[in-house]
Structure 1
Amino acid sequence: MQKEYKKILVAMDGSKESERALKKAVHVAKRNDATLYITHVVDMRAFETVSSYDETLATNAKKEADEALKQYIEYAHEHKFDKVETVIRIGVPKIVLSEDLPKELGIDLIMLGATGLNTMERILLGSVSSYVSVHAKSDVLVVRTDVDNKQ
């Protein structure tokens, strides 16, 4: 029996890996006639070291995320797929992607790039994809290849 997904979440962080995930997610959502939620989580931990943190940092980060998400929607539309929504959240990406959004939106598949971090960031923060794979209640697809299953 083949599983059909109806609500697919794809996490975007601006990395090449997350863009691969987006491209595959559009094809999977189209094939399943699912709604695709393209999301970006603004990780406020990145601003903790800034001594003069204020709301403008979060506002600017949200604006940048919104601009990037518009480009991702255009990609979906170029591939004749319109059942797309965007979600921007502020928080810890691991928690937002594995727990908060799946529960809130009824997500049945989470798709993410293998890693958007460099080696040092993975050591210090841990891999978001690794955490989500272990803790999510829904299916998780960690994308390592492009749409044609090539590097």
Structure 2
Amino acid sequence: MTLSYERILVAIDGSKASEQAFKEATAVAKRNNATLGLVHAIDTRAFSAVTSYDGAMTDKATEYAETLLTEYKESAIKEGLENVEIFIEYGSPKTVISREIAKKFKADLIMCGATGLNAVERLLVGSVTEYVIRHAPCDVLIVRGTAPDVETV
């Protein structure tokens, strides 16, 4: 039995981890002749703490997301992919990716970069990747990239 994917969604946030996930997602999409979805979720919760919020922050975040995803889309097309879709959404990245966009895009695979957070930071902040693993309606592949450094206590 050969497993193939037709609609691959990759989370892009501008980090090295998401860049590695994008590269792997592009390769998987090419092998499967799949449609690649690129998603960037703008975390609007961060703006609620700013008392002088006037929409300029959202505009800058949206502009950054558009530029970032356009560059990734162009790169995927240069690699030979024909079907690449872009999604810019607002809200909590973990719920936007795992619940909203995955269903809207009809993803059968979500690819994410592994986080660089340690156990304490994950406990306090929460991990988008961990949440996606637990709540996605489809398979999830975590791309590690290079082996993480081991810290000694």
Indicate whether the TM-score tops 0.5.
yes
Q: What is the RMSD of the two structures over their aligned residues, measured on CA atoms?
A: 1.9
Partner Cα distance (2:108, 2:48) in 1: 33
CA displacement 1:79-119 (0-9 Å, x = unmatched): 12221111100011110111111111211100000016577
- 2:52 is aligned with 1:52: yes
- 2:34 is aligned with 1:24: no
- Residue 60 of structure 1: CA displacement? 1.5
Counterparts of 1:61-76 in structure 2 under 5 Å?
A: 61-76=61-76
- Residue 48 of structure 1: CA displacement? 2.1
Amino acid at match of 1:100: E
Secondary structure of 2:133's partner? helix
Amino acid at match of 1:51: T
- 2:98 is aligned with 1:94: no
TM-score (norm 1): 0.89
CA 63–111 in structure 1, closer or farther in 2 if over 3 Å, else same? same
List gaps (5 residues or longer) in structure 1: none
Partner of 1:114: 114
CA 114–89 in structure 1, closer or farther in 2 if over 3 Å, else same? same
- Residue 120 of structure 1: CA displacement? 6.9
Partner of 1:140: 140
CA 14–52 in structure 1, closer or farther in 2 if over 3 Å, else same? same
Secondary structure of 2:81's partner? coil
TM-score (norm 2): 0.88
Partner Cα distance (1:83, 1:26) in 2: 11
Counterparts of 1:4-43 in structure 2 under 5 Å?
A: 4-43=4-43
Partner Cα distance (1:82, 1:46) in 2: 35
The 8 Å contact of residues 42 and 88 in structure 1, kept in 2 or not, is answered as yes
Secondary structure of 2:49's partner? coil
Amino acid at match of 2:36: L
- Of residues 65-74 and 113-122 in structure 1, the stretch that sits farther from structure 2 once superposed is 113-122
Partner Cα distance (2:3, 2:103) in 1: 19
CA 119–68 in structure 1, closer or farther in 2 if over 3 Å, else same? farther
Amino acid at match of 1:104: K
The 8 Å contact of residues 42 and 89 in structure 1, kept in 2 or not, is answered as yes
Partner Cα distance (2:87, 2:118) in 1: 25
Partner Cα distance (2:104, 2:75) in 1: 25
Number of matched pairs = 148
